[in-house]
Amino acid sequence: MTIDEYKQLLAKRLNPQRYKHSLCVADEALRLAEKYGGDKDKCYLAGLLHDITKNAPKDEHLQLFRDFGIILSSVEANAQKLWHAMSGSLYVRHKLGINDDEIITAIRYHTTARAGMTLTDKILYLADFTSADRDYDDVDVMRRLVDISMDEALKYALSYSIVDLVNKGKPIHPDTLEAYNEICL
Ligand SMILES: [Fe+2]
Ligand SMILES: [Fe+2]
């Protein structure tokens, strides 16, 4: 499929706001790839497709998990916000036939992060925080940090996410803790 065909598919699958977000994350991922020597095509495509199942009904996520043998942990089962990263990576690999592990894992871990992130993983994770459409309290800090150091930005973003979850009384996915611990050592 061409980039235009992916965009047409996204426009059908996502609400207008989420579609715009996807275009903005793709642009930001491309910018970060240029700045930090990442693979521009892969980062752009991962950015474009990262939220492809974000607006999918619950059943579509569960069907993908069933079809491809994914068993949710208790933290995952209770946090539907995490599902689209898992189902999105399955959709991109199995429905779109994109077999590039760099793109697939970047999408798979774009919500939780993980220990041992690749450059593409980091670029997508951070582009999701700093894309042009984003608006949250610390977005200016994040945008400044991401232009100085990917790892400093990653540490800040992980801390921000963990503190936010704790304040809301929500569980922390082990992948997020492992990512945070690794970056603090
Ligand atoms: Fe997402
Ligand atoms: Fe996103």
**50-91 residue pLDDT tens:** 999 999 999 999 999 999 999 999 999 999 999 999 999 999
- pLDDT at position 136 is 86
For residue 131, give both structure tokens.
């894309």
Please answer whether residues 151 and 136 qualify as being in contact, where contact means their C-beta atoms are separated by less than 8 angstroms. no
Q: Please state, in angstroms and rounded to a whole number, the distance separating the CA atoms of residues 43 and 39.
A: 6
Distance 139 CA to ligand 1 centre (A): 16
Average pLDDT, the chain: 97
**Of 36, 40, 42, nearest to 106 (Cα)?**
42
- pLDDT at position 137 is 86
Distance 148 CA to ligand 1 centre (A): 24
Distance 71 CA to ligand 2 centre (A): 23
| AA letter at 55 | N
| AA letter at 119 | L
- pLDDT at position 108 is 98
Which ligand minimizes its atom distance to the CA of 129?
A: 2
Using CA atoms, how far residue 69 sits from 23, 63, 105, 107, 161, in Å, is 30, 10, 17, 18, 28
Q: Which domain holds residue 102?
A: 3-184
Q: Please state, in angstroms and rounded to a whole number, the distance separating the CA atoms of residues 42 and 100.
A: 9
Distance 181 CA to ligand 1 centre (A): 22
- pLDDT at position 185 is 87
Distance 85 CA to ligand 1 centre (A): 6
Structural domains counted in the chain: 1
Percent of the chain whose predicted confidence (pLDDT) is above 70: 100
Which ligand minimizes its atom distance to the CA of 113?
A: 1
Q: What is the pLDDT of residues 144-173, one digit of tens each?
A: 999 999 999 999 999 999 999 999 999 999
Distance 122 CA to ligand 1 centre (A): 14
CATH of the domain at 167: 1.10.3210.10
Distance 153 CA to ligand 2 centre (A): 17
